[in-house]
Structure 1
C-alpha cells in the first residue's frame, strides 16, 4: 500500500486529483493534499510518503524548491511534476532532480493514472541478486577500460601537479575539453567487501565500468564532465563550468553537486546492489587546482570512518584547520558536536519564522543541507524538522493555555502559513484540536 502527496496551490485541482486516484483501484493507502510547498514539506517530514505529485509553480515555494528539499529529507520519494507551462527549462530542471514524469495542465486523467501506475510498478520491481548481477555484467560490459589513454591522463593530471602543464596538453590532444575555468570533483568509492561479500579483482573492473555507465547516464549532456577510474577501486568525475554557465554564486552549484551525489549513491545501490561512499570537493577556479580538488574528495571520504551509516560527504562541511592531517575520531566528533549546538541555537531563535527551510538553516550555519540533516538526526534522535515542529507545538500549547489569542493569531506567531494547516499539525501532534485543548 502506498502513500501519495499532492501539492498544488489550486484547491480544486488538489481535490480533483485526489478523487481520481481514490477511485483508480491502485494500491493506495493514504492520499494527502497540500496547498503550498511548506505544507507539503510538513507532510514529507511527518508521514511515510512514497510518491509526490507537485505543481511546479506555487507561490512562495516552487515545485522545484520542494523537490530539492524532498531529495534531502527522503531521497527515495518518487516525483511526478505537473505544470501549466510547457517550458523546456522547467522540464529539464525537474528531470535533472529525478522527476519520473512531467505532465502539462489541463491534466489528462488517463495519462496521470498511467504515469502513477508506472511509478508504483517500478517501485515494486524485485531486486536482482548479486550473482545474477555479476553474470549480467560479464555478458554485457567489456572488461577493458573504455578510452584507457584518456583515463590514465586524467588520473595522472589530478595526482601529479608537477606535470600538470604537460598533461593538460596531452589531454587536449586526446580530445579532452578542460577549458573550465571553474572545476569541482566527485569521487565514488565502491565498498566491495561489505555485508560479508568479497568481489574478485576482475569483477571489480566490471563494477567500475557499470558505475561509469550510471555516471554518464545521470550527467549526460546537461553537465560538462569527464569521468575516469582511479586508485582504490574509485571512479572520479571532474565537473566544469565556463563563465556564462557558472553565474555569480557557488552555493547553488554545490547543492546541485550534492543532488548528483545522492542520485549516484541511490542508483549504484539500487541497480548494482553495492554500497559506496561519494566525496564532493569545493568549486575552484583554474587548472592548477585540479590536484587540490582530488585531495579534497579523498579527505571528504575520510569522514565515512566516523559515520559508517552516511555515504555522502562534502569537503566544505568540515573545518580542516581544526584537525590534524589525519584527524582522530575525537577531533571528528568535536566538530560534529559544535555544528549541532550552533544549529540548535539558531533554530531556537528562528523556529517561528514563516517559510523556514533546511537550506536556510544550513546556509546560516555554513554546512550543507545533506550533512546537517544526517548529523542532527544522529545526535538529537529526531530530524531537524521534527525538532522545529516540537518547538512550534510547545509554544502553541503555551499560547492556548495562557492567552486569549485566536487560532489564526497563534498560527501566525509560530510560523504557519494558514490556520487550517496549523490545526492539522496540532491535532496530529497532540491528538486533539486547538479548540479542544482550549476547553
Structure 2
C-alpha cells in the first residue's frame, strides 16, 4: 500500500485528485493533501510518502523547489508534476530532478490515473537492467563483465600521482576516447558488504560476480539521468565512479553539486539494499578542477569511508563533513564525539534563534554548520534522540501554545509569529502535535 501526497494551492483541485485516487482501486494506503510547498514539505518530513503529486506554481515555494527539498529528505520518493503551463523549461527542470511525468491542466482523469498507476507499478520492480540480470533476462541476454581494458586504466587514473601535471597522462588517448574531459571531477566509491559482521561470506562465492554486476547496473541506471560519470569495478570488488562536469554544466545556477552527489549516493544505497539485500557504504569526495587531482579525490573518498568505524549505522560519507584540517592525524573516538556534539549544539542554537522564520529548511541549518543536511540530521537524531525537524516543530508548538493560552492573538497572528505561511497549515500541525485544534485548546 502506497502513501500519496497531493499538493496544489487550489483546494478544489486537491479534493478532486484525492477523490479520483480514492475511487481508483489502486493499492493506496493514505492520501494526504497540502495547499502549499511549505505544508507539503512538513508532510514529507513527518510522514512516509511514496509518491508526490504537485502543482508547479504555488505561492512562495514552487513545485520545482519542493521537489528539490523533498529529494534531500527522501531521494527515492517518486514525483508527478502537474502544471497549467506547457513550458519546455519547466518540464526540463522537472525531468532533470527525476519527475516521472509532467501533466498539463486541465487534467484528464483517466490520463492522470494511468500516470499514477504506471509509477506505482514500477515502485516494487528492480530497475530494468537489474531485473534482467536477476531473472536471467531474455533468451539472448548474456551477462557481460566490464573488460579489464576498461576498468584498469580508470583505476590507474585514481591511483597515479602526477608530478608534472602539464605533461600528457599515461593512457591519455584512452581517456580522450571515452570522453573524460572534465575539467571538474569528483569520485564516489561504493563498498559492497559481501561478508557479514562475523566475517563469513553472505553469498556463495559463485554468486558474488553476479551481485557485483547487478549493483553496477543499479548504479548506472540511477546515474544515466543524473550525472556524466564512468562506472567501473574497483580491484577489491567494490565499485568506483568518476563524475565529471564541463565548465558550462558546473556553472549552471541553482545547482548544489555536493547535494546532488549525496542524493544519488543515498539512492544507490537504498536501491542496492532493497533489490539485492546487500549492505553498502558510500564515500564521496569533494569536487576539484583538473584531471591531475583525481588521485586526491580518490583518497578523499577512501578517507571519508573510514568514519564508518565510528558511525556504524550511517552509510553515506562525504569527505567535507569532517574537519580534517583540525587534526594532524585521524581523530580518536573522544575527538570525534567532541566534534559531533559541537555540530549539534551549534545547530540547536541556530534553530532556537530562527525557528519562527518562514521557509526555514534543514539545508539552511546545515549550511551554517558547514556540513551536509543528511549528516547533520543523522548526528542530531543520534545525539538528541529525535530528528531535527521534530525539534523545530516542538519549539514552534510550545511557543504557539503559550501564545494561545496567555495572549489574545488570533490564529493567523500566532501562525505568523511561529513561522507558518498560513493559519490552515499551522492548525494541521498543531492538531497533529497536541491532538486538539488551536480553537479547542483555547476554549
Q: TM-score, normalised to structure 1's length?
A: 0.90
CA drift of 1:295 comes to 0.7
Whole-Å Cα distance in 1 between the matches of residues 67 and 35 of structure 2? Answer: 15
Q: How does 1:199-348 map to 2 (within 5 A)?
A: 199-200=203-204, 203-220=207-224, 223-247=227-251, 252-348=256-352
Report what 2:388 is aligned to: 384
Q: How does 1:24-423 map to 2 (within 5 A)?
A: 24-123=24-123, 136=136, 140=141, 142=143, 144-146=145-147, 148-162=148-162, 168-173=169-174, 175-194=177-196, 197-200=201-204, 203-220=207-224, 223-247=227-251, 252-423=256-427
Whole-Å Cα distance in 2 between the matches of residues 268 and 56 of structure 1? Answer: 31
For 1:354, what is the secondary structure of its paired residue?
A: coil
Q: Deviations over 1:4-56 (max 9, x none)?
A: 21011222221221121122233334322111110001112223323211122
CA drift of 1:292 comes to 0.7
Give unmatched runs, 5+ long, in structure 1: none
Whole-Å Cα distance in 1 between the matches of residues 142 and 237 of structure 2? Answer: 17
Whole-Å Cα distance in 1 between the matches of residues 135 and 202 of structure 2? Answer: 15
Report what 2:19 is aligned to: 19
Q: Deviations over 1:62-109 (max 9, x none)?
A: 222222322333344332222233444444443443333332222221
Gap change, CA 1:280 and 1:217, over 3 Å in 2: same
CA drift of 1:328 comes to 2.4
Give unmatched runs, 5+ long, in structure 2: none
Whole-Å Cα distance in 2 between the matches of residues 336 and 401 of structure 1? Answer: 37
Q: Tell me which moved more, 64-73 or 424-433.
A: 64-73
Whole-Å Cα distance in 2 between the matches of residues 373 and 352 of structure 1? Answer: 19
Gap change, CA 1:221 and 1:78, over 3 Å in 2: closer
Gap change, CA 1:154 and 1:250, over 3 Å in 2: farther
Please say if residues 228 and 235 of structure 1, whose CA atoms lie closer than 8 Å, have aligned partners that are also in contact: yes
Q: Deviations over 1:289-314 (max 9, x none)?
A: 11110011001111222222221111
Whole-Å Cα distance in 1 between the matches of residues 46 and 416 of structure 2? Answer: 21
Whole-Å Cα distance in 1 between the matches of residues 28 and 338 of structure 2? Answer: 45
For 1:194, what is the secondary structure of its paired residue?
A: coil
Whole-Å Cα distance in 2 between the matches of residues 415 and 363 of structure 1? Answer: 20
Q: Deviations over 1:207-247 (max 9, x none)?
A: 33323322322222653222222233221111111211111
Report what 2:9 is aligned to: 9
Q: Tell me which moved more, 238-247 or 188-197.
A: 188-197
Whole-Å Cα distance in 2 between the matches of residues 102 and 326 of structure 1? Answer: 48
Please say if residues 133 and 214 of structure 2, whose CA atoms lie closer than 8 Å, have aligned partners that are also in contact: no
Whole-Å Cα distance in 2 between the matches of residues 201 and 96 of structure 1? Answer: 39
Please say if residues 141 and 209 of structure 1, whose CA atoms lie closer than 8 Å, have aligned partners that are also in contact: no
Gap change, CA 1:142 and 1:119, over 3 Å in 2: closer
Aligned counterpart for 1:428 among listed residues 411, 426, 432 = 432
Q: Tell me which moved more, 261-270 or 204-213.
A: 204-213
CA drift of 1:349 comes to 0.4
Gap change, CA 1:406 and 1:205, over 3 Å in 2: same
Gap change, CA 1:408 and 1:221, over 3 Å in 2: closer
For 1:362, what is the secondary structure of its paired residue?
A: helix
Q: TM-score, normalised to structure 2's length?
A: 0.89
Whole-Å Cα distance in 1 between the matches of residues 414 and 351 of structure 2? Answer: 19
Q: Deviations over 1:131-162 (max 9, x none)?
A: x976849x95536433x223211111111214
Please say if residues 72 and 259 of structure 2, whose CA atoms lie closer than 8 Å, have aligned partners that are also in contact: no
